[in-house]
Structure 1
Amino acid sequence: MNRKEFVRNMALGAIGARYVPEWLAHNEVELGHGKKRYRINTKWSRADVAKNPVNDCHEMVQDSKGRILLLTNETKNNVMIYDKNGNFLQSWGTSYPGAHGLTLFNENGTDVLFICDNNRHQVIKTTIDGKVLMELNYPKETGQYLKADEYVPTETAIAPNGDIFVADGYGKDFIIQYDYKGNYIRHFGGRGDQSKHLLNAHGICIDNRNDQPVLMVTSRQQNAFKRYAMDGTYLSTVELPGAWVCRPVIHGQHLYAAVLQTNSRQSQKSGFVTILDQHNKVISNLAGSTPEYKDGQLQEMYQTIKAFDYPHDVCIDDEENLYVAQWNSGKVYPYKLEPIA
């Protein structure tokens, strides 16, 4: 399922309101369950919309200086940089019309970024201030692609040795592995055997929470994450009924993910943030239903509080605050969620 098909299937007929709902902006709304509860701050961003507008707010990361970086497909300022209090610091980037995936990697003590651009059909490696270091074009070496338009990368994950794993989440759903120089190594996933392969491989990360690192990959159309060994061998599936999950984000012993809801309880604009423990069990849904397991099986999840419109990514900072970026949501800036002790 490509991005155009997904948008059509979600019945997005009109752009949303360009403001935060009044009830949400003027009330202290608490979200979540158990020990993972948060208070939402919809006015965190202090950027001037006239000078630094956003379109779709796709992904966010925190750099080694503690700054929060936002990726938007607004070419007036593709990368916006904030401090943790929401003060706008600077921006760069005017040439990423399909800016979608943003990954930060510490390369020999220096922060670098990997941007996935849907429109350019490329992965672009840059310095933290935007200097282009490498461009990865469509992976014709795989034998799976005849032209660049068939390749629509959505996310990357970078191994400690610099190997680059690219999720072709709006293309053919393969994971393509390169070395740190951009040389092709292998590909896996794709469509086919639904138990092992991927449908809408929207996100990917490296999970180091256990003895051996594994790749955690989104299979959004299947409401699941799938676990692979670093050589691409399929390991297992984490079922998430009711949840069209975006990219997995590991922080400490927890996995966080923004969720688009597409099930029987779906509203026109809906979604929530889900949090899993080290055993990949859902323990909290922010603006979503209380996690419930019956006979070991997670029951269907759904939005319960209309706090988000299509949340697309979660960033967790060094003080355990969350930042939520949203797409197709009236061009709103990201929200900040502060943990409740």
Structure 2
Amino acid sequence: MNFKNKKRREFIKKSLLIAGAGVITPGLSLANNNNYQIQSDAVVGHGDYKYKVDKNWAIQDPSRIPVNDCHEMVLDNMGRIFMTTTGVHNNNIIIYDRSGKVLDSWGKNFPGAHGLTIGNAAEEQFLFITDPETHKVFKTTLNGDILMTINTPKEFGGYTSDDLFKPTETAIGPNGDIYVADGYGENFIIQYTEKGEYIRHFGGKGNGTAEFDCCHGITLDNRNPENPTMLITSRAKQEFKRFTLDGEYIETIPLPGCSICRPVLHGDNLFFAVIVTKSWGAYDGMLAILDKSNRVISFPGGCEPKYQNGKLEEPIYDERTFLNPHDVLVDNDENLYVPQWYSGKTFPVKLHRV
């Protein structure tokens, strides 16, 4: 059983034991991929953020390019799209061009390949890959050469065994510092120098204002370049939390009904995948687009966003566009690319901006 299936089953068991404690009601049976139907050229989204669905963008021969759970995507300086997918085959990283053609694939050391972050060093780019299954974070070249490995942190007493470290995401600070989100583990954010030297940790699992319940995603928010911050998911609580670069809590941004993967910034807007709204045991999910004031302005794959007395109403899945979307990539033409997690091993979907 792979790591995500374990997490899904653990979640369902826990939710059944804690009746009424959570906002998500998991299904007792898993959906069948044969029920997945999306209209060709269907238009989704709201207001100025509408998109045409391209379900055939990345369809491949699964005997040559197999995928299991597809997790995250990034764009390099050459316009190539890198994606993480799980499994023991030699394509934990798949590289596409913007037409959906596979250019290359590599990686068999990351069977639980999850978070994917791209950064720059001098004139070269590099990747950070988080793998909660092997309990490691890897820094690699764009060709797959491993440059650095971050293991279970030993610098503080948060980890009594290596397997408690289950990192899900990384972010890179303005000075090159590395922030690791241990979203499936102990829910700490661990800050390192660019050489991998421990600086500090903050967060941890709990219900306090500066704690998390699944710090699944993290990104540097530099929309205010004079005061950059870290924006971090608390997925089970359906909210973002904002911290200083030194780990001081600033604010909480509630998004009821949205189990958030990772924050993705493009211009003044914040994008993210809502992996589920109601059920972890059936196909679900949509995308969300927020303006600079953290107000949802479009739900591609869901209902029109509505607010009641300043509070977001829980969105409703359209039951046809996505199968548990896990991330969203925005290209320079504002098209969206969406890898999907529990989706019957489907390939990513492209949304063309209209």
SS of 2:271's equivalent in the other structure is: strand
Q: Could you say which residue in structure 2 is the equivalent of 1:73?
A: 86
1:41 partnered with 2:54? yes
Unaligned runs of 5+ in 2: 16-25
1:251 partnered with 2:266? yes
Change (3 A) 1:99 1:276: same
Correspondence list, 1:86-125, <5 A? 86-125=100-139
Change (3 A) 1:267 1:283: farther
SS of 2:245's equivalent in the other structure is: coil
Correspondence list, 1:1-341, <5 A? 3-4=7-8, 5-6=10-11, 10-11=26-27, 13-14=29-30, 16-17=32-33, 21=36, 23-24=37-38, 27-76=40-89, 77-210=91-224, 211-263=226-278, 268-340=282-354
SS of 1:328's equivalent in the other structure is: coil
Deviations 1:110-144 (A, max 9, x none): 11000000111000000001000000000121211
Q: Could you say which residue in structure 1 is the equivalent of 2:21?
A: none
CA RMSD, Structure 1 to Structure 2 (Å): 1.9
Deviations 1:143-191 (A, max 9, x none): 1101111110000001122100000000011100000010000001112
Deviations 1:40-91 (A, max 9, x none): 1010014322101100001111111000111101332111111000011111
SS of 1:86's equivalent in the other structure is: coil
Deviation at 1:266, TM superposition (A): 8.2
Deviation at 1:305, TM superposition (A): 4.0
Q: Contact 2:283–2:342 (CA<8 Å) still a contact in 1?
A: no
Q: Which amino acid aligns with 1:213?
A: P
Q: Distance in 1 between the 2:7 and 2:297 partners?
A: 30
Q: What fraction of aligned residue pairs are identical, expressed as a percent?
A: 46
Q: Which amino acid aligns with 2:148?
A: M
Q: Contact 2:40–2:55 (CA<8 Å) still a contact in 1?
A: no
Q: Which amino acid aligns with 1:296?
A: G
Q: Distance in 2 between the 1:155 and 1:16 partners?
A: 29
Q: Which amino acid aligns with 1:237?
A: T
Q: Which moved more, 1:41-50 or 1:121-130?
A: 41-50
Deviation at 1:216, TM superposition (A): 0.4
Deviation at 1:288, TM superposition (A): 1.2
Aligned residues: 336
Q: Distance in 2 between the 1:66 and 1:27 partners?
A: 26
Q: Which moved more, 1:193-202 or 1:232-241?
A: 193-202
SS of 1:53's equivalent in the other structure is: coil
Q: Distance in 2 between the 1:58 and 1:48 partners?
A: 19
TM-score (norm 2): 0.90
Q: Which moved more, 1:164-173 or 1:252-261?
A: 252-261
Change (3 A) 1:70 1:209: same
Change (3 A) 1:16 1:155: farther
Q: Which amino acid aligns with 1:73?
A: T
Q: Distance in 2 between the 1:89 and 1:164 partners?
A: 29
Q: Considering fraction of residues, name the structure with more strand.
A: 1
Q: Contact 2:51–2:353 (CA<8 Å) still a contact in 1?
A: yes
Q: Distance in 1 between the 2:325 and 2:308 partners?
A: 27
Change (3 A) 1:200 1:220: same
Change (3 A) 1:282 1:319: same
Q: Distance in 2 between the 1:12 and 1:153 partners?
A: 28
Q: Contact 1:261–1:302 (CA<8 Å) still a contact in 2?
A: no
